[in-house]
A and B are shown apart, each in its own frame.
Chain A
Amino acid sequence: MAELLKAENVSEVFGGLKAVDDFNIYINQGELIGLIGPNGAGKTTAFNLITGVYRPTTGEITFDGQSIVGLKPYQITQRGITRTFQNIRLFSELSVLDNVKIAYHCHVKYGLLESVLRMGRYFSEEAEIEEESLKLLKIFKLDEHAYEVAKNLPYGAQRRLEIARALAAKPKLLLLDEPAAGMNPQETHELMEMIRWIRKQFGLTVLLIEHDMSLVMGICERIYVLEYGVIIASGTPEEIQNDPEVIRAYLGAETIN
């Protein structure tokens, strides 16, 4: 299997704090990988490093064989990595449909002049964007809400909309930052099925951060565990569940008196 993303010896220092230290991961084409760890372990920092929000202090990140260190977030999106956010960041005053349409931005070919004069590719491409957006919304069961304002959606639907929006940018690698946060077990289960399904349908590679262990253990093929910015374990769900280091990180070390 081809390697899609590889991070080698990546570290990020904020002042005197090493948020991520000697971070090494690889993700193969088509895999579904989990990144777990206690609060403050540096999981979201790792996401921010991959998506260009932060520039690594040291180390190298390659995507599809090319280095993406130093690229701006929008350039990384254009290369094919999109993400969702831990604290939902929708375009909250806009309609659900417009939220998705915006994400087609980097695939639009018509220029400024064509849009202002409404000539050339403007109409055909706009029609295509509208059709594809509605199709995506249908997949995420949001088509009934297409013309509602995004902030009025229930919480779970807002999370789904964020994933739909990330998919509209046609990524190769999708990063999900706690997609199940705030969902009830029923919604989490549905989300799990959906992630599985979209991965197959869109030929995606997925990296997700999650605290809900039933979701992580249920769908991830491999798991990385971060603690204090350092990867302390990696492997299949079974291996992780029985790893003494992971148990120590989550539950504390056993003390024998």
Chain B
Amino acid sequence: MNAVRKRDLTMLILGLVIYAVLQGLMSAGFIGSFWQLNLILIGINVIMSVSLNLINGYTGQFSLGHAGFMAVGAYVGVVCTSNFGLPLIGALLAGAAAAGLLGFMIGLPTLRLRGDYLAIATLGLGEIIRIVIMNIEYVGGAAGFKGIKHLTDFTWVFFVMLFTLFFIKNFVNSTHGRACIAIRENEIAAEAMGVNTTKYKVMAFTIGAAFAGVAGGLFAHQFYLISPNSFTFLASFNYLIMVVLGGMGSITGSIAGAFVVTFISAALAAWPEFRMIIYALALILLMFYRPQGLFGYMELTNLKPIKRVLDKISGK
């Protein structure tokens, strides 16, 4: 078996071990219901930040409407389970398809824009999605969708997260991912090297949107109620903070960012008056001393000591 495949297997086993440990701690009662909920939120946020990182960090297209795609996935998902009696997996797939399709349709015209202009356009689109949902009575309008079945649990979130991480990792390590990274680095040179830049920008946007839809589906089935107010542009900013804080163009970074942001806001839940101050201070300090984020453009698995261990395990 070749080394790359063995390394994938090593990572997969490592993931299973982490799952077993966390699940064991939960069953044994060492992790209370508050932290159980936060573990689920961390998982959902990892899916959100890694999919946003594909658009912002790897392809270099500044998108600010990620919560909009999450909303589409969430609402399509709950309609599937509540009104059509589909199982959770069907709801997640339908949510992914709907959000992906919307991402594709929105991406085609807007990805002609660059930098700040694209950011503003996607910000607007995220808000449009939210306001459209707010005006659809079928899904509860501004009051939100009530009586959602509680179908999400830690196992679902963990394995969907693992799938997402492997999907995006494999994507960015292929010629398709390299094409996206080339666009980020120098669009003119990428085009001159035979990369269809429009196609790959739209592809990254579509994949990112589809995974945001999956995260939305998981999010909706965790709580008994979702409302359009869960998906404002502040939520999009929150995911952007995870990506920037963790590190652009790094999967390890997305995991770290989602973990740190979720953990800080949960740990400070008891002192709501200080929460935003400490949160803001942490961000300012990080941007001062580590502007590229915790893991900007690098992976934990590429750090020398860890790489050595991994190479040894995979017999390289």
A93-B185, A112-B176, A116-B167 known; A74+B194 contact, CB < 8 A: yes
Most chain A Cβ neighbours within 10 Å, of B170, B177, B179, B191: B191
User: Is B188 located at the chain interface by the 8 A CB criterion?
Assistant: yes
B194 touches A91 (CB 8 A): no
Residues of A with C-beta under 8 A to B143: none
Complex interface residues of chain B between 163 and 189 (CB less than 8 A to chain A) = 167, 170-171, 173-179, 181-182, 185-186, 188-189
Residues of A with C-beta under 8 A to B188: 53, 85, 89
A77 touches B193 (CB 8 A): yes
Residues of B with C-beta under 8 A to A93: 185, 297
A98-B178, A101-B178, A118-B170 known; A106+B4 contact, CB < 8 A: no
CA separation between A101 and B193, bound complex, in Å? Answer: 10
**How many residues on chain A are close to B (CB under 8 Å)?**
37
CA separation between A98 and B175, bound complex, in Å? Answer: 10
A77-B193, A93-B297, A165-B193 known; A102+B171 contact, CB < 8 A: no
Interface code B191-211, partner A: CB below 8 Å = 1, 0 otherwise?
A: 111111100000100000000
User: Is A4 located at the chain interface by the 8 A CB criterion?
Assistant: no
Residues of B with C-beta under 8 A to A78: 194
B186 touches A102 (CB 8 A): no
Report the minimum CB–CB distance from A132 to chain B (whole Å): 13
Return the chain B residue nearest A73 by Cβ: B191
- Selected from B8, B173, B195, B203, the residue in CB contact (under 8 A) with A74 is B195
Return the chain B residue nearest A165 by Cβ: B193
A73-B192, A115-B174, A123-B4 known; A105+B167 contact, CB < 8 A: no
CA separation between A105 and B183, bound complex, in Å? Answer: 13
A94 touches B185 (CB 8 A): yes
- Selected from A53, A106, A115, the residue in CB contact (under 8 A) with B170 is A115
Complex interface residues of chain A between 223 and 247 (CB less than 8 A to chain B) = none
Report the minimum CB–CB distance from B75 to chain A (whole Å): 27
Residues of A with C-beta under 8 A to B191: 72-74, 77
CA separation between A73 and B5, bound complex, in Å? Answer: 36
- Selected from B2, B170, B193, the residue in CB contact (under 8 A) with A105 is B193
Residues of A with C-beta under 8 A to B174: 110, 115-116, 122, 126
CA separation between A85 and B176, bound complex, in Å? Answer: 24
User: Is B134 located at the chain interface by the 8 A CB criterion?
Assistant: no
- Selected from B5, B171, B186, B297, the residue in CB contact (under 8 A) with A116 is B171
A106 touches B194 (CB 8 A): yes
Report the minimum CB–CB distance from A41 to chain B (whole Å): 22
User: Is B142 located at the chain interface by the 8 A CB criterion?
Assistant: no
Report the minimum CB–CB distance from B203 to chain A (whole Å): 8
User: Is A82 located at the chain interface by the 8 A CB criterion?
Assistant: yes
- Selected from B8, B170, B193, B203, the residue in CB contact (under 8 A) with A169 is B193
B197 touches A74 (CB 8 A): yes
A105 touches B5 (CB 8 A): no
Interface residues of A: mostly helix, strand, loop or mixed?
A: helix
Complex interface residues of chain A between 88 and 133 (CB less than 8 A to chain B) = 89-94, 98, 101-106, 108, 110, 112, 115-118, 122-123, 126, 129
User: Is A51 located at the chain interface by the 8 A CB criterion?
Assistant: yes
CA separation between A171 and B262, bound complex, in Å? Answer: 50
User: Is B101 located at the chain interface by the 8 A CB criterion?
Assistant: no
User: Is B190 located at the chain interface by the 8 A CB criterion?
Assistant: yes
CA separation between A169 and B190, bound complex, in Å? Answer: 12
Residues of B with C-beta under 8 A to A165: 193
B193 touches A82 (CB 8 A): yes
Residues of A with C-beta under 8 A to B194: 74, 77-78, 82, 103, 105-106, 169
Most chain B Cβ neighbours within 10 Å, of A89, A102, A123: A102
A77 touches B170 (CB 8 A): no
- Selected from B5, B8, B181, the residue in CB contact (under 8 A) with A94 is B181
User: Is A172 located at the chain interface by the 8 A CB criterion?
Assistant: no
A105-B178, A115-B174 known; A91+B192 contact, CB < 8 A: no
A77-B193, A118-B4 known; A110+B175 contact, CB < 8 A: yes
A78-B194, A103-B193, A169-B194 known; A118+B8 contact, CB < 8 A: yes
Offer 14 A-B interface pairs, CB within 8 angstroms, sorted by A.
Answer: A51-B192, A83-B192, A85-B192, A89-B189, A91-B181, A102-B179, A102-B181, A102-B195, A105-B178, A105-B182, A105-B193, A108-B175, A110-B175, A115-B175
- 19 further contact pairs, Cβ within 8 A, besides A74-B195, A101-B175: A74-B196, A77-B191, A83-B192, A85-B189, A85-B192, A89-B186, A91-B182, A92-B186, A93-B297, A102-B178, A102-B182, A103-B193, A115-B170, A115-B173, A115-B175, A118-B170, A123-B4, A129-B175, A165-B193
Binding site for A on B (CB under 8 A): 2, 4-5, 8, 167, 170-171, 173-179, 181-182, 185-186, 188-197, 203, 297
